[in-house]
Structure 1
């Protein structure tokens, strides 16, 4: 691969062209932007101008990527089929570049001590993909000492999306990458409190996902899949595969 093919614009267009057609979006960021926002134990060991991307799955991923994937694969491994599908999609990016140039870290990857290898919500925020709302974004600390988990909201999909991981290009530096703030679509303190209350207290009803109007949300089939306990998804997967074969 030539030096021109490893230039930031080519890397970005290649990653986007591969993933966008199957229901994903990619947003570039510099490793330094991420590292300055996280504790030292979560910092990624690359120069600050190293180019990386956060990958999100849109509501279309289920139809465009997941269902075709499970129809092609046996999905008999130990991982959840969604995780297997994400590993497959990320591998397609790695194959487009020389071995070792692109490193992928999935949202489900952990160190031996169970610490996440990457904080995808922070990566999504610094990349301008989705605003990561935390307790500190609400005035007056209404929760006191209670632990409140943050949640990301996408300007188009609200909460109907997922941050799937990052792709890091070890030898691609992009010092001039313009920084874009994530759209602050939950703009009032009262609505932010409502969002975080919904997410922390009633996340199972998914109402936090509709905290703002959305352009697209999960299909009923996709909702059913994610509401089904992982141990019970095999039967549902077999039903999907059978249906797809008759379409």
Structure 2
């Protein structure tokens, strides 16, 4: 199929209609925006003007999509239940909205044979304008000399109470010249605030204080906090106590480990 220039709204509109009611957001980008900020070894192998969409889960996804997913069919072993739910939601939306189109979908937990992630979730979020990716280089005169500080994305409405779940590349669709790259909202403009954010994320991530770096319009429900606070190996037992999983159903901690490396969950 020959590539064609499309209106961004014709792609994001149907996706948002399918996914927003399930607690997801979609943010469009051109592959070139992503590749331009990374070394060639990490670039995506698509034309620079290829249209892509990054998918976020918001706090409401847990109640709107995940718990109904468990109630409706449960989950098989060998894969994290959240990942199974996200995959079902995204693949269903793609099939419904773009039948016959070539759409390459990468999920945040997937790894290449080299053990690198299939895409850098936080970089994609930043260049799409959906969230600001704060890194050590964004701090003037950083106070850390011997410690590497991993970066973290902040959403303008949800703070740290969200996750980056998937990247969709529309192989035969191109963004037009009128598609301008948005600038993500700088939610933490001060040096002091950025130092506090990175230290909270890297040194005290278990208390989740970094997520409240900006006042969120919505945060995780108590049940969702209980789930994500629980070690991945113990989550199947928690879900069984809620009445969602059978005794032989479990989860895979590999995906959770990858998500931690990507800086969200």
Q: Which moved more, 1:217-226 or 1:65-74?
A: 65-74
> 5+ unaligned residues in a row in structure 2: which ranges?
245-265
1:26 aligns with 2:26: yes
TM-fit CA distance, 1:133: 0.1
Q: Distance in 2 between matches of 1:217 and 1:177?
A: 32
Measured on the aligned residues, the alpha-carbon RMSD in Å equals 1.8
Q: Deviations over 1:52-87 (max 9, x none)?
A: 111100000000000000111231220110011111
For 1:86-235, what aligned pairs fall within 5 Å after superposition? 86-96=86-96, 97-99=98-100, 101-175=102-176, 176-235=178-237
Q: Distance in 1 between matches of 2:23 and 2:99?
A: 25
Normalising by structure 1, what TM-score? Answer: 0.92
Conserved? CA contact 1:70–1:237, under 8 Å: no
Higher normalized contact order (CA 8 Å, seq sep 6+, divided by chain length): 2
Equivalent pairs counted in the alignment come to 240
SS at match of 2:181: coil
Q: Which moved more, 1:41-50 or 1:150-159?
A: 41-50
Conserved? CA contact 2:31–2:51, under 8 Å: yes
Provide the residue aligned with 1:71 in structure 2: 71
Q: Distance in 1 between matches of 2:75 and 2:9?
A: 35
For 1:9-24, what aligned pairs fall within 5 Å after superposition? 9-24=9-24
Q: Distance in 2 between matches of 1:215 and 1:57?
A: 14
Normalising by structure 2, what TM-score? Answer: 0.86
Q: Distance in 1 between matches of 2:232 and 2:199?
A: 26
> 5+ unaligned residues in a row in structure 1: which ranges?
243-247
SS at match of 2:114: coil
SS at match of 2:22: coil
